[in-house]
Chains A and B, each alone.
Chain A
Amino acid sequence: MLIKLKNVNFTYMSNTPLAQRALENVSLSISAGEFVGLIGPTGSGKSTLVQHLNGLLEPLEGEVLIEGKKIGGEISPLLVRQKIGLVFQFPESQLFEETVFKDIAFGLRNLGYPDDEIEGRVRKALAMVGLDYFEFKDRSPFTLSGGEMRRVAIAGVLAMNPSCLVLDEPTSGLDSIGTREIISHLERLNREEGLTIILISHDMDEVAHLASRVIVMNEGKIEFDDSPRRVFSQKSDLLKIGLDIPQFTSLLFMLKEGGLDVPLALFELNEVKNAIVSALERRFS
């Protein structure tokens, strides 16, 4: 098991009158190679949860295990941060070096890698996000487009060779080209390189399309943890906590309410089309 949380509780500013419970008895396991979508309304504890995964926050109660080892006790936060790579929201605003190369090399230099190995890894990381090494290495991050900056930021985390990549709304604010570029690289990294990915998103279509498992958080607790098909069938529960369902699912719900016998939780254009066509055929045959 790559990641395991056992009864994790966390409260911001505990022992003050302003204490704010952020995680309540959260338990979950994530195996290597999974693609997990993490959804929940603002303030539901998603960001707090992922900061526990790489030891930026320590649970007040309970424990976080990475590859079976407890963070803090059996495995140092430094090693954990190398294994679990976190890409924060608007990561491009966290680029601070003069050149793309230096920014991607930042984590590696912190770990004390020799120069030639750093170069190889930077090259590989840039390739993983689809940017040409020679074209980009000497450019200043400030001269890149939004989508390029974000891919450089992701490359900076990938260069550490993590076993798991955690991304907090990696496509928010990007146009559809930028979004597509990021999404296709995430898909490929998961499928071809076997990288475990945890994706936080407010975009239900994106999550339904990408994730093989969806975790829904609400008020610091895990509300659902299941396949996208099962989770997104819970329309009323999701709407109640302020979430949504994917557009296609929404359409299928409407058709079903209108009396057409279609399955509900389909997320791909072709599946949806075929399902509607065959439902119509059944009806009019």
Chain B
Amino acid sequence: MHHNKAVEIKNLHYKYPDGTMALDDINITIEHGESVALLGPNGAGKSTLILHLNGILRGNGEIKVFGLPVNKHTLKEIRRRVGLVFQDPDDQLFCPTVFEDVAFGPINMGLTKEEISTRVNKALASVELEGFGKRSAYHLSFGQKKRVAIATVLSMEPDMLVLDEPTSNLDPRGRGKIIKILNSLPVTKVVVTHNLNEAAKLCKKAIIMDKGRIVADEDIEKVLSNRPMLEAHGLISS
């Protein structure tokens, strides 16, 4: 691998259709294999930023993912290499069965039938849901749906996982399971979360956003021990 940067973003700006500045001069670099927590209050621009990582949104500025500039020609490759997991699994599971949902990406990649079913089984196994292929999403518990949603991108064998609140709204056992699964996956990870404990369990680095800007980008221990900064950006309360 001659390229060891997973993400390079330079001077990224993004305005909502109504004119509000959602991303204001974003500059970040994420190394290959790193796990990064993306922290910040509601409305800080975290979700907007992650939608730029696979070209769903396109702002002004320079974005390179695994060395590839995000544009029309690289979109397909980038979307294969970046697996985006949405907060509400009901948005991600749109097929009649779990199998079809997990197979959706690989089918679009044009893989052979054998490869597809190998990948689906492997992805379901890594989220501890072997044998769930025939079920339909509405028969699953919320925690199971969250795990299937992760499997739907794992089956594309991405090099980077981007997860929006992967543990929100789960009971402690469900949260523990997701954390264990994510920590067992050896890929670059970007995790959006409100939960500092979970950020610490999942990530080595933390990026803090507030009002569309990056306000901190360093080791998570440093970030978590900087109480005044956490307070200033509403991550803990005084």
Contacts and interface: CB of A to CB of B under 8 A. Distances in A.
Task: State yes or no: do A and B touch (Cβ within 8 Å).
Answer: yes
Contact of B41 (A41, A172, A177): A177
Interface in B22-43: 40-43
A97 B139 CA distance: 32
B172 A177 contact: no
A42 B194 contact: no
State the main secondary structure of chain A at its contact with B. Answer: loop
A162 B3 CA distance: 62
Contacts of A177: 41, 234, 237
B170 interface: yes
B168 A172 contact: yes
Nearest to A171: B194
A42 B172 contact: no
A173 B165 contact: yes
A176 B194 contact: yes
A176 B197 contact: no
Contact of A174 (B40, B176, B194): B194
B237 to A, nearest CB: 4
Interface residues of A, number: 22
Interface residues of B, number: 23
Nearest to B234: A177
B172 A43 contact: no
Contacts of B194: 173-176
A72 interface: no
Given A173-B165, A175-B234, A247-B197, A145 B43 contact: yes
A42 B143 contact: yes
B169 A242 contact: no
B236 A42 contact: no
Given A42-B141, A202-B175, A243-B171, 9 more contacts: A42-B142, A42-B174, A169-B169, A174-B194, A175-B194, A175-B235, A177-B41, A202-B172, A242-B172
Q: Which 4 A-B pairs have the closest CB atoms?
A: A242-B173, A244-B172, A180-B237, A177-B234
Interface of B: 40-43, 141-143, 165, 168-176, 194, 197, 234-237
Interface of A: 41-43, 145-147, 169, 172-180, 202, 204, 242-244, 247
